[in-house]
Structure 1
Amino acid sequence: MYREKVNEAISEFLEEKERNAMKEYREDNAQFYRDLREFMLRGGKRLRPIAVILGYKSIKDDREEELIKASICVEFLHNSTLIHDDIIDQDTLRRGGPTFHVLYERRYSHLPKERARLFGLAFGIMGGDELFNLGFEALLTSGFDKDRVCEALKYYVEAYREIVNGELLDLIMSISDYERLSVDDYLLMVRLKTSALFEKSFLIGLTLANADERTKNAFSNYAVYLSEAFQIRDDILGLYGTEEELGKPIGSDLREGKATILVILAFKMLPDDKKKALKDILTKHQITEEDVYYARDLLKEYGVLNEAERISEELIEKAKDNIISLDINEEYKEILCDLAEFVVRRRY
């Protein structure tokens, strides 16, 4: 139910920006907002705006129209990071369509190849930047009390700063000695890159509802544990899912040399000769489909996949424990526990 309402709010917000751009600027500007709208509405679970809504409704059950408007702020921020992340990772596919920078590279393919590529990157940078601005505006104009909104905006800005620092660690870890990386290194990166926005989404909703600090702290813990489990599941699906389910090629993380939970555990659990084989794949210039399937079988055979799934299950239980003890609306308590189960069982 909320997913549809969130999508409607995103669509209406961007349609207004498109109309304004047509009036104030020119067709090229309107097309830019049209493309941002298409990119955002291709798909997505909308977990972050739903987190804003659940945080609020666990305390209060009013002002739904303003709440939906406020909730889309974090989806704009999330998609801002996706567009920039696709540039950093040099990805070409997102949710079954071209990444935002590739969309523009193709649109300007009549230019010399390198210039078209640079045009694509430029539009990708601007697209990501503008989505961050639009998220800020959505929260600022949502209709909630000014003091509540100002406090919520602090979480919005804090989330983006943590995401940037998480991306920085992710990049550095991808060129580090895999054998020196620990699960704690991985979880720190995830807490910054993935947990930050999910946690702050709940805190934005709770802040708009004027929740107490004990409730905020419990939701923070819940969100961090849940996000860590979510990222572990993402890592697993990135190697063991299908392109149809994920909307992007399988084995992308291997091709980028990313230090996923599977890679870090592998270098703790594999015998030396198998570690070398995996390292050879991770450092290859071009990884083949055979390499991807070899890595899949290897990690499964030596229990790496099972260990990653065990850690994920443990994190989900910790997440649920933080919610079960709270004095909040029982209906939303059950929803939050169901959400935790979905995260660890999902196939996309």
Structure 2
Amino acid sequence: RILSSYAKIVNEVLEKYVPRAVDENWLKDLFGEAEYRYELDALNKSIFEPFWDLADRGGKRWRPALMLMIYEAFGGDPREIAPLSVIPEVIHNGTLAVDDVEDGSEYRRGKPCIHRIYGEDIAINMGNTMYYLPLTVLRKLNLKPEKRLRILEEYVETMLKLSFGQAMDIAWHRGLVESVDEKQYLQMTLFKTGALAGFAAKLAAIIAEVPEEKARLAQRFAELIAVAFQIQDDVLNVVGDEAKYGKEIGGDITEGKRTLMVIHALRNLPPRDARRLREILDMRTDDRKLVGEAIELMKKAGSIEYAKQVSRSLAEKALENLKELIPEEERRRKLESLANFLITREY
């Protein structure tokens, strides 16, 4: 419920900056007069239609909501910075389209992935477009040049972290690295999932002109919540309710992902069981019996409970950061509610 009012604000501006279909005037505004002639149909069918197919499926919009809530907690009106909230949200949707191709995923938000409907070429190009398109918001806003520069610097660092995090994840599930430990997993997740949430928080801090120490606390709060969120997502992937979750249960096992639960299980199972778990992961199988066997091995090692515990512990650390950032209880209540929702959700 707490997300819905902020999601409404985000959805309103989203359509303004990423239209459902572009026309000649929109392109002129972006690039100027065509040197020859723009071809609108191709752009709409290969970029904007697939983007909105994904965006209309829902999604929690929690990254832009987090940004608006942090700005509000700093004493601002969230509607003042609503246009900037499209930046983390649009980038996030772009990464989903590309990640799903790279992971060979079947479903996203309860429907076939974008590449399964439109093709891999369209999904990748649409996703890549969404890494850059939302930055055009900066041209429309009356920001001081130094603020704009800071946002762009943070953006470049964020995009590098996203790519580096994804590189680690891919290398691990392709078996390019012999073994991975818990700290390496947390660093990967901090890059892959935490960076964009941290960027959203940093955007709010830059616009609110808070001291650097507060900006860093806001960023750290968002990053920790995002890592806790991702671990909860990994848990739901093996023990969630598929109807609520919107993705195939056990999909991470089929992809051979090295989640926190897998890392914990490989370290704590008897050698024979650990070998068997590794064997199933390396098969990249969608056989329900084998996927179920892998889940049972993780349960046997206590890995699912362990992951839930780590997620809770990270959320507690995040809330400690939040208390330091926003000492007044009333002003941080919404952020606390959001944090609690993200780590106890079932979808």
Provide the rounded CA distance (Å) in 1 between the counterparts of 2:332 and 2:44. Answer: 42
Match of 2:18 in 1: 14
Tell me which residue corresponds to 1:189: 188
CA distances 1:259-308 after superposition (whole Å, capped 9, x unpaired) = 00110000111111211221221122533111222222232233111111
Residue 42 of structure 1 aligns with an amino acid whose one-letter code is R
CA RMSD of aligned residues (A): 2.1
**Normalized against structure 1, the TM-score is what?**
0.89
The within-5 A match list for 1:168-183 is 168-176=167-175, 180-183=179-182
Contact 2:94/2:131 (<8 A) preserved: yes
Aligned-residue offset at 1:60: 2.9
Residue 283 of structure 1: SS of its match in structure 2? helix
Distance 2:196 2:331 in 1: 20
> Does residue 30 of the first structure (1) align with residue 44 of the second (2)?
yes
How far off its partner does 1:177 sit? 7.9
- Ranges in structure 1 where 5+ consecutive residues have no aligned partner: 105-119
Equivalent residue for 1:77? 91
> What residue ranges of structure 2 are gaps of 5+ in the alignment?
29-37
TM-score of the superposed pair, with normalisation by structure 2: 0.89
Contact persistence 1:281–1:287 (CA under 8 A): no
Judged with a 3 Å threshold, the aligned counterparts in structure 2 of structure 1 residues 269 and 7 are, in CA distance, closer, same or farther, namely same
Q: C-alpha distance in 2, partners of 1:78/1:347?
A: 20
Q: Give the whole-Å Cα distance in 2 for the aligned partners of 1:192 and 1:140.
A: 27
- Residues 296-337 of structure 1: CA deviation (Å, up to 9, x unaligned): 223223311111111111111111011112346643412222
Q: Is the Cα–Cα contact under 8 Å of residues 243 and 249 in structure 1 kept in the other structure?
A: yes
User: Deviation at 1:223?
Assistant: 1.9
Pairs within 5 Å for 1:26-105: 26-32=40-46, 33-62=48-77, 64-104=78-118
Q: 1:142 to 1:66 in 2, by over 3 A?
A: farther
CA contact (8 A) 1:316 1:344 kept: yes
Alpha carbons 2:70, 2:335 under 8 Å: kept: no
Q: Shift in Å at residue 96 of structure 1?
A: 1.8
SS of the residue 1:308 aligns to: helix
Check the 8 A contact 1:6/1:72 in 2, yes or no. Answer: yes
Q: Is the 8 A contact 1:59 1:329 kept in 2?
A: no
Report the Cα offset of residue 31 of structure 1.
2.8
Equivalenced residues, count: 332
Relative to structure 1, the CA distance from residue 142 to residue 328 in structure 2 (aligned partners, 3 Å threshold; closer, same or farther) is farther
CA distance in 2, matches of 1:287, 1:100: 20
- Read off the aligned partner of 1:5 and give its amino acid letter: I
1:85, CA displacement in angstroms? 0.4
Counterpart residue number, 2:8: 4
Question: 1:111 — aligned with what?
Answer: none
Equivalent position of 1:218 in the other structure = 217
1:246, distance to aligned residue in structure 2 (A) = 1.9
Q: How does 1:283-302 map to 2 (within 5 A)?
A: 283-302=282-301
2:18 partner SS: helix
- Residue 203 and residue 279 in structure 1: after superposition, are their counterparts in 2 closer, same or farther (change >3 A)? same
Between the aligned partners of 1:303 and 1:229, the Cα distance in structure 2 is 18
Q: Structure 1 residues 140, 271: CA separation in 2 closer, same or farther (over 3 Å shift)?
A: farther
Which residue in the other structure is 2:238 paired with?
239
Output the CA distance in 2 between the equivalents of 1:299 and 1:177: 22
The CA deviation string for residues 48-80 of structure 1, in whole angstroms up to 9 with x for no partner, is 111221222221323x44411111111111111
Instruction: Read off the aligned partner of 2:203 and give its amino acid letter.
Output: I
1:264 aligns with 2:263: yes
